[in-house]
Amino acid sequence: MSTTLSVNTESPSSLDADAVVVGYHSGGDAPEPASGAHTVDAAFTGGLGSTLSLLGASGAPEEVHTIASLGAVKAPVVVAVGLGPAPADGPVDSDVLSRAAGAALRSLSARPEGAGRVVLALPATTADQAGAVALGAELGSYSFDRYRTGEKAEKKAARSAETTLTVVSEAAGAADAVERAAVLAEAVSLTRDLVNTAPADLVPEDLASAAQEIAQQADLEIEVLDEHALSEGGYGGLTGVGQGSANPPRLVRLAYSHPEATKKVAFVGKGITFDSGGLSLKPAGSMDWMKSDMSGAASVLAAMRAISTLGLKVNAVGYLTVAENMPSGTAQRPSDVLSIYGGKTVEVLNTDAEGRLVMADGLVRAHEDEPDLIVDIATLTGAQLVALGTRVFAVMSNDDSVRDEIVAAAGAEGEASWPMPLPAELRAGLNSSVADIANVAGERWGGMLSAGIFLQEFIEEGTKWAHLDVAGPSFNQGGPHGYTPKGGTGAGTRTLVRIAEEYARKA
């Protein structure tokens, strides 16, 4: 990402900029200026709020109105964004601010002249709020233009490189919070870029190369196992899923360590670069967005980079389980039996339940690092979408307090998640007549949970583990909203970084 972010304490009405963003609350007769908006509001005859009211504004969340300032303030354009009702007490919610800043920047970035130099005069009386504004603004100005051609596209790329974001805040610690936000936004953008890349341009080898490059830049230790090393090492999940593709599988291990760290976290991400379903082929309508099936691996890679950039006082390892799931004469067959790393056997009754196979290899391997916690992240099941929709990811764990900690960490980071159970009785549904376990249950109910139960089979007693199913939230097939664009969203990336931060604090 090429935007630059800074903090300023000057009055937003006198700052030299192309646009100034202010917030308005709903609830009154006219939109009420929020904290930070008063000098800009007062610069307009009768107050900008009454003009906004004439234009039909209410101050509802993410409502965006762009107004020419005609000299009332120094910036030629004022963007008024809705923040919803003013909270009765306490500061405006950070996530409301991120989404408002995101909506404003999406709108400004869509102009022919681009966003330019933007001043964000949204409520930022705390460092947390300043960070939230910066994060939302940066994520809202994201665009993926790799495949666009022509003069228009070139101009757009040049303009977006010129975007500068200035957060107005007098809060102590605002500069640090904005700096952290920039690192997180870069991580989320990396995840989005990898997800949005066409699957022919991001086959397993490409994802492994991307990891190599990032490891070098971010000073991470890296190990890549190719298809030969995988089959020799007994990684039957990756080998079995990858064998139908002309593009062989990879397992990537990244490691970050801090000399004063006392805790270690391990992340395992599902990296199916394209999921056709294999011989259990998906219908066309379910397949066209399966380039996003490597979201989990992308999040792990991006989070590892952010952890290193932030210099967290924690040890972290990240595994990317990377394969392409394709049907062919060499593909695994429904009823084939494979042996996961460590030796457990799986009867593959449905080749479209491939994520759990590659993840099993990664989870078993992650135990060798002896981490205090393993967190896996995967676009694992369509059932996740049935249960929680497109914006809320699921958190399952073999430890209720870990599960609740992660849901809380996600919430504090502005990511929506919900705790889900791992009912023991679902294990019987995965009994195989020939192997240790089958990869799908006979019954379709609770598909997200039985996938979690399958993964749990590969976790040792006494090892703390959580599983994030991000199938829905990782890819936005609908319209953009808040700071979330169409396509790859980066969901879960910030939560992983937050978990590492919390384990750094436990040190």
Q: By CB under 5 A, what part of segment 142-171 binds Zn ion?
A: none
Q: Which two tokens stand for residue 428?
A: 């019987």
Q: Which of 194, 207, 353, 466 binds ligand BES (CB under 6 A)?
A: 353
Say which of 106, 192, 250, 356 is annotated catalytic: 356
- Tell me which residue has its CB nearest to Zn ion: 275
Q: Measured at the alpha carbon of residue 478, what is the angle toward residues 499 and 449, in degrees to the nearest 5?
A: 50
Provide, rounded to whole angstroms, the least separation between the CB of residue 344 and ligand BES: 19
Q: Which of 91, 173, 327, 382 binds ligand BES (CB under 6 A)?
A: 382
Q: Which of 275, 347, 361, 413 binds Zn ion (CB under 5 A)?
A: 275
Provide, rounded to whole angstroms, the least separation between the CB of residue 272 and Zn ion: 5
CB 318 within 8 A of CB 301: yes
Q: Is 356 a catalytic residue?
A: yes
Q: By CB under 6 A, what part of segment 288-327 binds ligand BES?
A: 293
The CA distance from 322 to 358, in Å, is 8
Provide, rounded to whole angstroms, the least separation between the CB of residue 387 and ligand BES: 11
Helices 493-505 & 174-196 angle (0-180, nearest 10):
140
Residue 402 CA: distances (Å) to CA of 26, 64, 120, 313, 376: 38, 39, 36, 20, 13
Site pattern 282..301 for Zn ion (x: CB under 5 A): -----------x--------
Provide, rounded to whole angstroms, the least separation between the CB of residue 273 and ligand BES: 11
Of 227 and 352, CB closest to Mn ion: 352
Of 61 and 327, CB closest to Mn ion: 327
Q: Positive or negative CA dihedral for 34, 115, 166, 176?
A: positive
Beta carbons within 8 Å of 303's beta carbon, 6+ residues apart: 187, 267, 318, 493, 496, 497, 500
Q: Is 391 a catalytic residue?
A: no
Q: Does 383 contact ligand BES by CB under 6 A? A: yes
Provide, rounded to whole angstroms, the least separation between the CB of residue 264 and ligand BES: 29
Q: Does 275 contact Mn ion by CB under 5 A? A: yes
Q: By CB under 6 A, what part of segment 444-503 binds ligand BES?
A: 447, 471
CB 184 within 8 A of CB 306: yes
Provide, rounded to whole angstroms, the least separation between the CB of residue 355 and Zn ion: 4
Q: Does 352 contact Mn ion by CB under 5 A? A: yes
DSSP code for 35:
T
Q: Measured at the alpha carbon of residue 139, what is the angle toward residues 137 and 141, in degrees to the nearest 5?
A: 70
C-alpha atoms less than 13 angstroms from C-alpha of 310 in its C-beta half-sphere = 29
| Beta pairing, strands 64-68 & 77-85 | antiparallel
Q: Measured at the alpha carbon of residue 231, what is the angle toward residues 225 and 233, in degrees to the nearest 5?
A: 70
Site for Mn ion, rule CB under 5 A:
275, 352, 354
Catalogue the active-site residues. Answer: 282, 356
Site for ligand BES, rule CB under 6 A:
275, 293, 350, 352-355, 379-383, 440, 447, 471
